[in-house]
Structure 1
């Protein structure tokens, strides 16, 4: 007999979470030789490995409808926007079950009741009460297990408890509970009721905790159970298959992940039709994965960098992938437009995704127009607050693109809008303003207005020092930006002082051969070279930077090429001809490689 489930109050509503998030922090790339502008994004909702309070609960009848990852027409979360409390109710088979004739056992009803009660406590801000309730149930089931009861009912209760702890951010408890659940279900037959749901929940939690090696087998087992029960084309397979695709994508097995996404799309088209909103998530997952693979697949040439990361030109077979992801985003836009009309906020979000695809294709002006139209639709529809982090990131994405194509003034207006909105919401001394000050400083620096950039950087630095203290390594980012700006203003002595302080803080916080230390060293060398520091000392520092970059970026990277050029310069000045000759050959080869890629 299972342990009793404790509830402070009766509630019998049913609930299933379905969330499909359009990640609007994708990167865009253009064939352009404009100088890049690095802008910082507003932190989005953190992943559970950090401090997330978002979570997904699902009830415990057999998995007979789409769950996590798949949207429904009633679910605003499909747009990529979570409600304030992080819960979204949608229609499932449970909504059809209102009496004992629906086949749901008393135990399943108790599980559903516990599920709903924990959800209610958390969404109403009573997290302590929720934890107390979870702990009471854990103690009860633990006592039952100590008495020898270790079956599906104990596993099911522990599963609900684990999801509750996931919701309140107690991830250590989640890991411990998952280990216990694994021990219980490993000995259970696949025909046990509720096992499929438990496995799906476990796969999702493992994945959100970054434990992909554990997520894959439980999702695979859930898939096997459901295939045997419902066939290989049943819609109930979508949730575990998407879980498998996520794991494969996150572990570098892109080809297999693409196959899984295509399978999910075929299943949904077969069961729900070619225009169902449920297609949004697999289409977006497929498109995003193909963009990612276009960036990292072994390639012979590369686009010029735009914004933060390089987009690598790929072999012919990968170009078909480009059209696939472009088609995926276009299809998402068409689905939302037909379902909700062209002025719905979800359409605006889909337009932003399509704008990323336009960027990747090199259509900058089309991408800009799409971004602007999308932002206006979302604003007019009051689909999300202007100060929502997703809206801010969309404005920043557009601002970056405008800077890259030479429309810096328009981009600055967007960045200033972000700053003003955040100031109004949080005040003028809030640390979240630093992102916007840094972005504006970068914009003014690109326009050669270093005086304004200096003022903005000093303001951001003061805010960070007050918030985090003078020794926190995070303050070294505006410090190095300020050092570079002072260098451009010919204030070399102060620039050196700030760069040295940033280097000291980073050495204390990180390894001496870490990438942050290498970055600070590289900045310092540039400043000290104009101050007339000893060439031998500068060469030694550059060689340290080179070793760090080779380890972090690879010996053929563009970063290595730039530093190698500096090393060769100082070897020549110091008369070290033999060392220079060997490195000069390597440098020439790298320069030819990147020259050809730019020309292409």
Structure 2
């Protein structure tokens, strides 16, 4: 009996052979992923142990039959679309088997199957290292992916786009913006030469490029990238599509960074109108919420405070209706609205908003959590302006106590609390 045959659904004991014909047993598994991977590891160990046992006994023909059966099974999985780490480890074990029996010609065939999977595995690993802040490790992995992909598909293949975007993100996060920008430009150039100029595949690298350019203060170039995204979505989906609205928000951000507040306000207003009329967006959608807040903040900056106040009140009202007063963002909207009233020196309204916000925060995170101190300090300053000095002082003292415990005596948050107390 040949006990072990490879498939990505599962590697099972129980295959049989008649003469020189081997069969592979394929069945689904209802186990969790962790259990499944544990089973896979155990069965791969069994497979390799059986190969070594056959070699010791001189059963080379049976050994070859076993390897061929598993090789064909995993190839069928790959043809069907399986390109995960499971296929990689199975192919590696099969290659080790052929090496053990000295069939080097078959090793080359197995490795040719293995290598196309390597780039996707390395890309995934690069992404995880980047997410963990290990940018140097991430860049090394992406560099290897690019080398493999260029060798297998050429320097102008669209397969290079994903690792180029990953490399660009890692470089940008590591402070190497110039190199990152080059990566994004190369990805855009590859897509332009392989696809239409208005292809939606261009959106991802253009968006990444635009965001990085804003961080680097190159707002004119950032605006060009976001404007192009607006054009792509408009061409593909029509001028009233929600995707056009979301890309207009990015363009508005670039206009803000440039100092063109009037153009940014117009873009935000148009975007908000599109998003509010979108069938896929609820009134309490997070993107809609962020757009309202960004527009309100900009209106306050340019002195149109009444309109900004209306938007913030709308955010508060929607959150209260759809999510309730205990929802975390409800406190955020209370604080934003209080800040708006504070700018106009309407301290009575500020106090009215901050007190319930502070109560909700204490009930949610606890009375000694450092996150509540921002609202407490804002309320202390408000009470000071309302001549309620004693309560203001007590709040500032409480903020100082919590922050000393959370951040240490010599921290900047403690300094802020001391200044308020003084």
- Kept after mapping to 2: 8 A contact 1:6/1:136: no
1:151-162 counterparts in 2 under 5 A? 156-157=85-86
Shift of 1:272: 0.7
The separation in 2 between residues aligned to 1:148 and 1:397, in whole angstroms, is: 60
Would the alpha carbon gap of residues 158 and 426 (structure 1) be closer, same or farther in structure 2, given more than 3 Å must change? farther
The separation in 2 between residues aligned to 1:404 and 1:158, in whole angstroms, is: 56
The separation in 2 between residues aligned to 1:469 and 1:278, in whole angstroms, is: 46
Shift of 1:404: 0.4
The separation in 2 between residues aligned to 1:414 and 1:463, in whole angstroms, is: 22
1:137 maps onto 2:36 in alignment: yes
- Kept after mapping to 2: 8 A contact 1:6/1:133: no
Deviates more, 1:469-478 or 1:516-525: 516-525
* Counterpart position of 1:204: 127
* Counterpart position of 1:338: 235
1:248 maps onto 2:171 in alignment: yes
The separation in 2 between residues aligned to 1:374 and 1:149, in whole angstroms, is: 60
1:288 maps onto 2:211 in alignment: yes
Query: Matched residue of 2:328: which SS?
Result: coil
* Counterpart position of 2:355: 458
The structure whose RCO (Cα within 8 Å, separation 6+) is larger is 1
Deviations along 1:210-245, whole A, 9 cap, x unmatched? 332332222211111000011111111000110000
Query: Matched residue of 1:432: which SS?
Result: helix
Larger Rg: 2
**Unmatched segments (≥5 aa) in structure 1:** 8-105, 118-128, 161-187, 295-320, 526-600
- The structure whose residues are more often helix, as a share, is 2
Would the alpha carbon gap of residues 144 and 193 (structure 1) be closer, same or farther in structure 2, given more than 3 Å must change? farther
- Kept after mapping to 2: 8 A contact 1:486/1:492: yes
TM-score (norm 1): 0.55
- Of residues 307, 314, 326, the one that matches 1:429 is 326
The separation in 1 between residues aligned to 2:395 and 2:149, in whole angstroms, is: 61
TM-score (norm 2): 0.78
Query: Matched residue of 2:32: which SS?
Result: helix
**TM superposition outliers: structure 1 runs of 4+ over 3 Å:** 1-7, 144-150, 152-155, 188-191
- Give the count of matched residue pairs: 355
- Kept after mapping to 1: 8 A contact 2:8/2:87: no
The separation in 1 between residues aligned to 2:173 and 2:365, in whole angstroms, is: 32
The separation in 1 between residues aligned to 2:421 and 2:298, in whole angstroms, is: 30
1:328 maps onto 2:251 in alignment: no
- Kept after mapping to 2: 8 A contact 1:333/1:350: yes
* Counterpart position of 1:352: 249
Query: Matched residue of 1:194: which SS?
Result: helix
1:422-501 counterparts in 2 under 5 A? 422-501=319-398
The separation in 2 between residues aligned to 1:197 and 1:2, in whole angstroms, is: 24
1:516 maps onto 2:413 in alignment: yes
1:400 maps onto 2:300 in alignment: no
- Kept after mapping to 2: 8 A contact 1:499/1:523: yes
Deviations along 1:181-212, whole A, 9 cap, x unmatched? xxxxxxx8996241111112222233233332
Would the alpha carbon gap of residues 495 and 259 (structure 1) be closer, same or farther in structure 2, given more than 3 Å must change? same
- Kept after mapping to 2: 8 A contact 1:249/1:257: yes
Would the alpha carbon gap of residues 189 and 209 (structure 1) be closer, same or farther in structure 2, given more than 3 Å must change? farther
Shift of 1:379: 1.3
- Kept after mapping to 1: 8 A contact 2:276/2:288: no
